[in-house]
Structure 1
Amino acid sequence: MSVTRDILATYRHPKAVALRRQADGPREERALAVLMAACIVIFVAQWPRLSREAHLAETELGPLLGGALMGWVFMAPLFFYAVAFVTQIILMLFGGTTGYRARMALFWALLAGSPLILFQGLIAGFIGPGTLNTTFGLIWLAAILCFWLAGLMAARQKPE
């Protein structure tokens, strides 16, 4: 199934999609590609907000975009790998799973939440800070947590 169809299917049946995506066996290049795609989408979602901030402060947009690029595309993947490693250690204490499956659960949750973060970025850019922006940020975080937990439950199951 294509990535976009899997993203849409994740909103209906997150555990089934996680099982299907983890069934191919450990493919570290795929996990890295999913993580990098998620981080790039999150970086792109920051553009409207950063453009608004640059316009209101009457400053250049380039340095703001450069900082967001450095943070989301180069630093965030390292952070997410560390979070996945800690998750793997915790799961090993309670029954175990492979490191790949623990990583893929987190990375896929981030990519599956990309439509929500893109919409939240538009809200931040056009409306600015406020209740609606905060609400969609919390909805994005809740969706990522739900998808991540579903992926972790799928990771604990034996592959078919």
Structure 2
Amino acid sequence: MALSSDILATYRGPGRVVRRLLDLGPREDRALVFVMGFCIVAFIAQMPGLSRQAHLEGVELNMLLGGALLGTVFILPLFFYTLALVSHWAARLVGGKGTAYGARLALFWALLSSAPLVLLNGLVAGFIGPGPALSIVGFLWVAVFVWFWLSGLRQVQRSAE
């Protein structure tokens, strides 16, 4: 399936999509593309809000974009790799049988498949600004991300790959 079809299918059944991705075999390059794809989309999603901030505060936009680029594209993937490892260890403590690769795949796929909501959050931050609308969209993104991640992690931990 195409990536966009897989993302749409995730909104209907996240566990099934993660199972299908696991059945393709362990490919670390695929997991890296998923996490880097999300981080690039997250950086792009920050641009409207940063532009609004630069305009309202009278600061240099390039400085804000440089800091966001460093944090989002270069540092955030390392954090996600660490978070996936910790989630793998936690799952093993409660009897999970999955692999560290499976935990990475579940987390990275949950991030990438929730990316449309991250883009919506960025648009709301840029055009509407802080307020209830931004909080609602942010909460919706977090809820969908956690749903995708836990569903994928449950599928990964059912049996060893």
> TM-score scaled to structure 1, two decimals?
0.97
Task: Give the gaps of 5 or more residues in structure 1.
Answer: none
> Which segments of structure 1 move beyond 4 Å, counting only runs of 4 or more?
none
| Aligned counterparts, 1:23-102, within 5 A | 23-95=23-95, 96-102=97-103
Contact persistence 2:102–2:156 (CA under 8 A): yes
What does the per-residue CA deviation read over 1:99-143, in whole Å, with 9 as the maximum and x for residues that have no partner?
Answer: 000010000000011000101100000000000001100100011
Distance 1:134 1:69 in 2: 23
Contact persistence 2:40–2:73 (CA under 8 A): yes
CA RMSD of aligned residues (A): 1.2
Deviation at 1:157? 2.8
Worse overlay, 138-147 or 91-100: 91-100
Partner residue, 1:127:
128
- Match status 1:153 vs 2:160: no
Contact persistence 2:99–2:160 (CA under 8 A): no
Percent of residue pairs identical = 52
Distance 1:27 1:92 in 2: 21
Could you tell me which amino acid in structure 2 is paired with residue 115 of structure 1? P
Deviation at 1:159? 6.8
Would you say how many aligned residue pairs link Structure 1 and Structure 2? 160
Contact persistence 1:23–1:159 (CA under 8 A): no
Distance 1:159 1:41 in 2: 31
Task: Give the gaps of 5 or more residues in structure 2.
Answer: none
